[in-house]
């Protein structure tokens, strides 16, 4: 199994921007406040990127991408838990995301599809939810185990 390490990076990181653009993911708000991005490294090489946006006790998972040369190795499913572990510092209770193409992938990670009316206003008011992602994107939610009472 490939060892992965998470390293915080700024939204201005050129590798992040390039990888997101190549994957057709939003880049317009990368440098705005409240966003936290990470590079995932293995043996000194970046294998992927991910980001989270804190909104109260909720988090928006965004910008998850594995670089093409590392895809198909099971890396993608390991990235969110690494970010969520980092996010526990912020007392995350639930994680939301919007996707047009990866519903089955995120369902395997425990996310479930929800209606937008079920999401908290803090999530719906993010730029990604309100304008960057199309209204046709599927909204998904994961309640983190420590808070699943």
Q: Report the predicted TM-score, pTM, of the whole model to 2 decimal places.
A: 0.88
Residue with tokens 């909104």: 55
Using the 8-state DSSP alphabet, how is residue 149 labeled?
A: -
d(CA 78, CA 15): 20
CB burial string 95-114: b at 16+ within 10 A, e below:
bbbbbeebbeebeebebeee
Query: How confident is the model over 89-137, as pLDDT tens digits?
Result: 556 778 999 998 899 999 999 999 999 999 999 999 888 888 878 888 9
pLDDT at 89: 53
Query: How confident is the model over 42-88, as pLDDT tens digits?
Result: 999 999 999 998 887 788 998 899 999 999 999 999 998 888 876 55
pLDDT at 88: 54
d(CA 48, CA 40): 5
Query: Per-residue pLDDT for 147 more than 70?
Result: no
* Torsion of Cα atoms, 2 then 53 then 106 then 47, to 10°: -20
């Amino acid at each position: 199994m490939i060892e992965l390490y998470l390293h915080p990076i700024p939204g201005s990181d050129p590798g992040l921007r390039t990888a997101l653009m190549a994957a057709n993911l939003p880049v317009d708000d990368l440098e705005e406040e409240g966003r936290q991005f990470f590079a995932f490294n293995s043996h000194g090489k970046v294998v992927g990127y991910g980001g989270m946006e804190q909104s109260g006790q909720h988090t928006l998972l965004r910008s998850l991408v594995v670089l093409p040369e590392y895809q198909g190795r099971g890396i993608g499913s390991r990235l969110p838990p690494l970010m969520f572990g980092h996010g526990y510092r912020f007392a995350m209770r639930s994680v939301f995301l919007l996707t047009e193409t990866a519903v089955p992938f995120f369902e395997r990670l425990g996310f479930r599809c929800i209606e937008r009316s079920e999401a908290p206003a803090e999530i719906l008011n993010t730029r990604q939810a309100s304008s960057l992602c199309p209204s046709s994107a599927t909204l998904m939610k994961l309640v983190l185990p420590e808070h699943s009472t």
